[in-house]
């Protein structure tokens, strides 16, 4: 394991127009930490990973791995990938098809001439660590996707590298298998800590695996923190959207809170003395649907809406509604009683989109930053 230090890292691509994939990035990754880089396609997360691996040459900055400087643009240091003591787990597994599982796992030891580790049973121990010890004499074509990914993970760990890099390694697996391998990877890091950087666009993977997570946007880190901190306190409208607060409500204060032409019912979104516009972010499972004549809890706000679509999910419904400003909002509504009105909900029904004003998060409509008045006490409008 090693501490990783990134300073002023940039990667520009020439073109018309030129593209900045990574922009003056500073990042410290602690020894034994599992850092997740999260963001949409084009945000710079994979380019950052490739720069760490030596597969991409940065335009500026420095990268330090433990006591070694592996890249320094000013001093013209650029250590090639095979000289950086790292492990890599790819999205496509990248196993040698003509080699057995044993030889695939042992390849980094052979390439690095680690004869003692090869002779000392490192391959068998690492295979047992990821539960593929019974597959050592098979070939990749004889394995399922989950088994191949375990082999790829064992290959990345077998030489006990300073840093293990994961390039969206679970995205090719089906949903059930992805959850299983994710849980196994998390348990493995708990049992045998290693310094890792994991790239994904899946927020559930980031929340489950990361010691810390970095939300990236346009080559920069928008927010860095523990999964719990980022989930509970997203710093910007962009981060809130990416970690599951998919409902975006644009409201304005004009003597009372309004969404489009409709007044906000119940509790205020911010203290009633506020003015201007605010963006409200709400998770689908922090909202509920009420009948038009239904009551709201003390800290609930409500917005009149029309049902657009209803999807049956067993014990819940995934409902899409439209509010007067023309935006669509989503609710994961639990069916609690046999007489629940949700059981007969249909497209075109008039409802109230209700949400807890404390669970919601508020952002400035112009710059997307957290609203400074959000933390002020709430007033309850009778």
Residue pair 331/352 in contact by the 8 Å Cβ criterion: no
pTM for the model stands at 0.86
CA gap 191, 208 in Å, rounded: 16
Residue pair 81/73 in contact by the 8 Å Cβ criterion: no
Separation of CA 70 from chain center: 27
Cα distances (angstroms) measured from residue 285 to each of 143, 316, 334: 38, 10, 9
pLDDT band at 166 (very low <50, low <70, confident <90, very high): very high
Q: 156: which residues sit within 8 A by CB, 6+ positions away?
A: 87, 88, 89, 108, 164, 165, 166
The two most distant CA atoms of the chain are separated, in Å, by 78
- The pLDDT tens digits of the residues spanning 29-46 come to 999 999 999 999 899 999
CA gap 19, 174 in Å, rounded: 33
Q: Which residue has the tokens 């809170």?
A: 257
Least confident of 86-95, 330-339, 350-359: 330-339
Query: Tokens at residue 243, please?
Result: 């970690």
Count the residues in the chain: 382
Burial of 236 (0-12, 13-18, 19+ CB in 10 A): buried
Q: Which residue pairs from 367-373 have beta carbons closer than 8 angstroms and sit at least 24 positions apart in sequence?
A: 368/236, 368/237, 368/238, 368/279, 369/235, 369/236, 369/237, 370/235, 370/236, 371/270, 371/278, 373/270, 373/271, 373/274
Stated as kind and residue range, the H or E segment containing 334 is strand 328-334
- The pLDDT tens digits of the residues spanning 51-84 come to 999 999 999 999 999 889 999 999 999 999 988 9
- The pLDDT tens digits of the residues spanning 192-233 come to 888 999 999 999 999 999 999 999 999 999 999 999 999 999
User: Would you tell me the crossing angle of helices 122-129 and 101-111 to the nearest 10 degrees?
Assistant: 120
Query: Across all residues in the chain, what is the average pLDDT?
Result: 89
């Amino acid at each position: 394991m090693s501490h990783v230090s990134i300073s002023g890292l940039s990667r520009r691509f020439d073109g018309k127009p030129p593209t900045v994939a990574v922009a003056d990035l500073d990042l410290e990754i602690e020894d034994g930490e599992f850092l997740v880089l999260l963001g949409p396609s084009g945000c710079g997360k994979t380019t950052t990973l490739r720069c760490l691996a030596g597969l991409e040459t940065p335009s500026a900055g420095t990268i330090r791995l433990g006591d070694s400087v592996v890249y320094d643009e000013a001093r013209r240091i650029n250590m090639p990938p095979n000289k950086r003591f790292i492990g890599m787990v790819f999205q496509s597994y990248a196993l040698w098809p003509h080699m057995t599982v044993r030889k695939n796992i042992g390849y980094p030891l052979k390439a690095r001439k680690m004869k003692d580790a090869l002779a000392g049973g490192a391959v068998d121990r690492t295979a047992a660590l990821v539960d593929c010890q019974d597959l050592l004499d098979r070939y990749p074509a004889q394995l399922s996707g989950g088994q191949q990914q375990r082999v790829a993970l064992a290959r990345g760990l077998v030489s006990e590298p300073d840093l293990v890099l994961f390039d969206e390694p679970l995205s090719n697996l089906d949903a059930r298998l992805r959850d299983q391998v994710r849980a196994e990877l998390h348990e493995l890091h708990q049992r045998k800590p290693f310094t890792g950087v994991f790239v994904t666009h899946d927020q559930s993977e980031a929340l489950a695996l990361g010691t810390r997570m970095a939300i990236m946007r346009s080559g920069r880190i928008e927010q860095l923190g523990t999964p719990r901190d980022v989930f509970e306190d997203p710093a910007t409208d962009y981060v809130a959207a990416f970690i599951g607060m998919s409902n975006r409500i644009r409201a304005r204060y004009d003597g009372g809170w309004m969404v489009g032409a409709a007044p906000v019912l119940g509790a205020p979104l911010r203290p009633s003395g506020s003015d201007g516009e605010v963006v409200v972010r709400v998770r689908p499972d922090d909202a509920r649907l009420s009948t038009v004549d239904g009551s709201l809890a003390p800290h609930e706000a409500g917005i009149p809406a029309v049902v657009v679509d209803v999807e049956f999910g067993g014990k819940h419904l995934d409902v899409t509604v439209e509010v007067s400003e023309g935006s669509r909002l989503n609710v994961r509504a639990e069916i609690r009683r046999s007489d629940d009105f949700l059981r007969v909900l249909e497209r075109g029904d008039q409802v109230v989109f209700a949400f807890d004003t404390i669970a919601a998060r508020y952002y400035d409509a112009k710059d997307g930053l957290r609203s400074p008045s959000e933390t002020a006490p709430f007033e309850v409008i009778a």
